Amino acid sequence: MRPGRNRKFNPDIPAHIDQNALPVGIYWSDNRWFIYEPHPEGGRPRKRTVAFAKARLSELHAIMEVARGGDNRGSLGYLCDQFVKSGEFNSLASGTQKDYAQCASEAKGFVLTDGSKLGEVQVARLRVPAIQRMVEAIATGRQARGKLPALDPRPSKANHVLRYLRRLFAWGIRFGHCEHNPAQGVRQARELAEFKMPAPEVFVAMLEFVRVRGSLTAHTRGSVSPYLHAVMLLAYNVRLRGIEVTTLTDANHTEQGIRTNRRKGSRDNITEWNDALREAWDWLAKYRKERMKAHERPIPLKPERRRLLVSQSGTPLTKSALDSAWQRAITMAIREGVIAEEDRFSLHGLKHRGVTDTEGNFGDLQDSSGHVAPAMVRRYAHDVPVVQPPKLPKATGDQ
Structural domain contains residue 2: no
Please report, for residues 246, 273, 336, the alpha-carbon distance to residue 368 in angstroms, rounded to integers and kept in the order given: 19, 14, 35
Q: Clarify whether residues 368 and 234 are in a common domain.
A: yes
- Mean pLDDT calculated for residue range 138-143: 93
Q: What is the pLDDT of residues 257-300, one digit of tens each?
A: 999 999 888 899 999 999 999 999 999 999 999 999 999 999 99
Q: Clarify whether residues 182 and 211 are in a common domain.
A: no
Residue 37: its H or E element: strand 32-37
Q: Clarify whether residues 89 and 235 are in a common domain.
A: no
**Contacts of 369 by beta carbon, 8 Å cutoff, 6+ apart:** 239, 266, 351, 355, 358, 376, 377, 380, 381
Q: Clarify whether residues 118 and 228 are in a common domain.
A: no
Structural domain contains residue 253: yes
Mean pLDDT, all residues of the chain: 90
Residues facing residue 307 across a β-bridge: 249
Q: Clarify whether residues 223 and 359 are in a common domain.
A: yes
Among residues 192, 218, 245, which one ends one of the domains?
A: 192
* pTM greater than 0.95: no
Structural domain contains residue 116: yes
Does the pLDDT value for residue 114 go beyond 80?
no
Q: What is the pLDDT of residues 162-216, one digit of tens each?
A: 999 999 999 999 999 999 999 999 999 987 655 678 999 999 999 999 999 999 9
CATH number at residue 127: 1.10.150.130
Q: Clarify whether residues 117 and 207 are in a common domain.
A: no
pLDDT computed for residue 41 by the predictor: 67
CATH number at residue 274: 1.10.443.10
Banded pLDDT at 104 (limits 50, 70, 90): very high
Please report, for residues 248, 256, 270, 305, the alpha-carbon distance to residue 252 in angstroms, rounded to integers and kept in the order given: 6, 11, 9, 11
Among residues 127, 159, 192, which one ends one of the domains?
A: 192
Contact 168, 83 (CB under 8 A): yes
Banded pLDDT at 146 (limits 50, 70, 90): confident
Q: Clarify whether residues 127 and 176 are in a common domain.
A: yes
Domain that holds residue 25: 13-70
Number of domains in the chain: 3
Q: Clarify whether residues 183 and 60 are in a common domain.
A: no
Q: Clarify whether residues 216 and 339 are in a common domain.
A: yes
Banded pLDDT at 248 (limits 50, 70, 90): very high
pLDDT computed for residue 1 by the predictor: 38
- Mean pLDDT calculated for residue range 214-221: 92
Structural domain contains residue 218: yes
The one-letter code for the residue type at 205 is A
Among residues 51, 70, 89, which one ends one of the domains?
A: 70
Q: Clarify whether residues 230 and 376 are in a common domain.
A: yes
Structural domain contains residue 360: yes
Cβ-count burial 25-62 (b if 16+ within 10 Å, e if not) = ebebeeeebbbeeeeeeeeeeeeeebbeeebeeebbbb
Structural domain contains residue 24: yes
351 or 51, greater pLDDT: 351
Structural domain contains residue 387: no
Please name which of 18, 107, 14 lies closest in space to residue 52, comparing C-alpha atoms: 14
Q: Clarify whether residues 40 and 164 are in a common domain.
A: no
pLDDT computed for residue 262 by the predictor: 92
Q: Clarify whether residues 162 and 96 are in a common domain.
A: yes
N-term to C-term CA, the chain:
110
Banded pLDDT at 240 (limits 50, 70, 90): very high
Highest mean pLDDT among 62-71, 331-340, 359-368 belongs to 331-340
Task: Output the CA torsion sign for 116, 122, 125, 129.
Answer: positive
Does the pLDDT value for residue 110 go beyond 60?
yes
Structural domain contains residue 336: yes
